[in-house]
Amino acid sequence: MAASRFHLLLVLSLTLCLCHFPDNTWAQLRQNYYASSCPRVESIVRGVVQNKIKQTFVTIPATLRLFFHDCFVQGCDASVIVASTATNKAEKDHSDNLSLAGDGFDTVIKAKAAVDATPGCKNKVSCADILAIATRDVIALSGGPSYPVELGRLDGLSSTAASVNGKLPQPTFSLNQLTAMFAANGLTQTDMIALSAAHTVGFSHCSKFANRIYSFSRQGPIDPTLNRTYAKTLQTLCPKNVDSRIAINMDPNTPNTFDNMYYKNLVQGMGLFTSDQVLFTDSRSKPTVTKWATNSQAFQQAFITAMTKLGRVGVKSGRNGNIRQDCAVLA
């Protein structure tokens, strides 16, 4: 009886464990995937990214955010880049994606054109892989770590706004909500804390955090976990009834550098979103934030690990994908 009970518990625990992780469709991914078919693909993409950054810094946070939003909805398959048609409302037109800056899309489209214009490379490299490479490049070119990118993804065959529902983290999320959403994509709580550092670059519209500085609770209008001086600064930058298009830097100290300042800000009560500051106020995640605030190397290693795992989410292969000629049009 004891043996059978043990066997049942073992089966149940394995089942529960497996259900929280995506399948291993990423098994075909490998570094230097295009070594024979398009050996210069990474340098071609890097050149485009460098030119885009010279035109506008927005390229960096826009591309990084585009990758996250792509991978969390139907996996890393460039489905977020697909344009809507008369008969299909695509992912990019879901309300959660309307704030994705156009420079991210433009970076991928221009890089795809440059790759396809290279002899031997036409229609060999997926939009999904180009986005993964470009994401690594914007991180490295803004002061963050460089890392080898696993390649071999195919582009997705569908893109619908409905598929975005409930798949992207919200600025009001608690630690439990964040942890659960990342776990659904095979990512640990540590991965989630590391990936949250993407907020060290980029900007946010005032409406995303207005409740923290004007209408937090009956006890007071300002979120008590928010640094009081920072709260006053935010009220100045985002007065009541401000134009909804106004945006501010998410990192008030080094907004153009990918670094561990994100965690230093959290320690000071200067996380812009509730979902940022909770990483320090919750005792379960606080030790990691505190460590990375003073240990940049440890943070960078954790970030590389998390980005590699993120790039494996929902990878398409075989009949489940293809290589789009136009990243914005389903083939």
User: In this predicted model, what pLDDT tens digit does every residue of 217-241 receive, in sequence order?
Assistant: 999 999 999 999 999 999 999 999 9
Residue with tokens 């009949």: 319
Contact 79, 158 (CB under 8 A): yes
Question: What backbone torsions phi and psi does residue 216 show, to the nearest 5 degrees?
Answer: -70, -50
The verdict on 215 and 290 lying in the same domain is yes
Which residue, 112, 144, 164, sits at the end of a domain? Answer: 164
The verdict on 149 and 269 lying in the same domain is no
The verdict on 142 and 218 lying in the same domain is no
pLDDT band per the 50, 70, 90 thresholds, residue 23:
low
Is the confidence at residue 3, as pLDDT, over 50? no
Cα–Cα nearest to 143, from 195, 201, 102: 201
Contact 185, 309 (CB under 8 A): no
pLDDT band per the 50, 70, 90 thresholds, residue 1:
very low
Q: Is residue 129 part of a domain?
A: yes
The verdict on 146 and 218 lying in the same domain is no
The verdict on 222 and 143 lying in the same domain is no
Range of the domain at 85: 41-164
Q: To 10 degrees, what angle do helices 41-55 and 127-141 make? A: 60
Cα–Cα nearest to 161, from 232, 44, 82: 82
What was the pLDDT predicted at 146?
97
CA–CA separation, 205 and 271 (whole Å) = 14
Is the confidence at residue 80, as pLDDT, over 70? yes
At 293, list the tokens: 């605030």
Q: In 3-state terms, what secondary structure has residue 190?
A: helix
The verdict on 180 and 156 lying in the same domain is no
For residues 306 and 241, which has the higher predicted lDDT (pLDDT)? 306
Task: Supply angle C-alpha 277, 268, 258, rounded to 5.
Answer: 75
Q: What is the mean pLDDT of residues 293-305?
A: 98
Tens digits of per-residue pLDDT, 187-210?
A: 999 999 999 999 999 999 999 999
Q: Is residue 322 part of a domain?
A: no
At 296, list the tokens: 């940049």
The verdict on 303 and 182 lying in the same domain is yes
Domain containing 105 — which CATH number?
A: 1.10.520.10
54-86 burial, b at 16+ Cβ within 10 Å, e below that, comes to eeebbbbbbbbbbbbbbbbbbbbbbbbbbeeee
The verdict on 78 and 195 lying in the same domain is no
Domain containing 205 — which CATH number?
A: 1.10.420.10
Q: Is residue 241 part of a domain?
A: yes
Q: What is the mean pLDDT of residues 87-116?
A: 97
State the alpha helices, DSSP H only, in the chain.
2-19, 41-55, 59-71, 102-116, 127-141, 175-183, 189-195, 210-214, 228-237, 261-267, 274-281, 286-294, 296-310
At 317, list the tokens: 């292969």
Question: What backbone torsions phi and psi does residue 110 show, to the nearest 5 degrees?
Answer: -70, -40
Q: Can 20 be counted among the known catalytic residues?
A: no
Residue 215 CA neighbour count, 13 Å, CB half: 7
Is the confidence at residue 4, as pLDDT, over 60? no
pLDDT band per the 50, 70, 90 thresholds, residue 305:
very high
pLDDT band per the 50, 70, 90 thresholds, residue 27:
confident
The verdict on 89 and 59 lying in the same domain is yes
Residue with tokens 């071999």: 152
The verdict on 112 and 226 lying in the same domain is no
CA distances 62 to 17, 69, 128, 318, Å, are 34, 11, 15, 30
Cα–Cα nearest to 33, from 161, 188, 149, 181: 149
Q: Is residue 327 part of a domain?
A: no
Q: To 10 degrees, what angle do helices 296-310 and 127-141 make? A: 170
Q: Is residue 137 part of a domain?
A: yes
Tens digits of per-residue pLDDT, 245-265?
A: 899 999 999 999 999 999 999
The verdict on 285 and 210 lying in the same domain is yes
Q: Is residue 116 part of a domain?
A: yes
Task: Name the active-site residue from 69, 94, 199, 205.
Answer: 69
Which residue, 164, 183, 206, sits at the end of a domain? Answer: 164
Tens digits of per-residue pLDDT, 147-185?
A: 999 999 999 999 999 999 999 999 999 999 999 999 999
The verdict on 215 and 302 lying in the same domain is yes
Total of domains in the chain: 2
Q: Is residue 74 part of a domain?
A: yes
Contact 265, 229 (CB under 8 A): no
pLDDT band per the 50, 70, 90 thresholds, residue 20:
very low
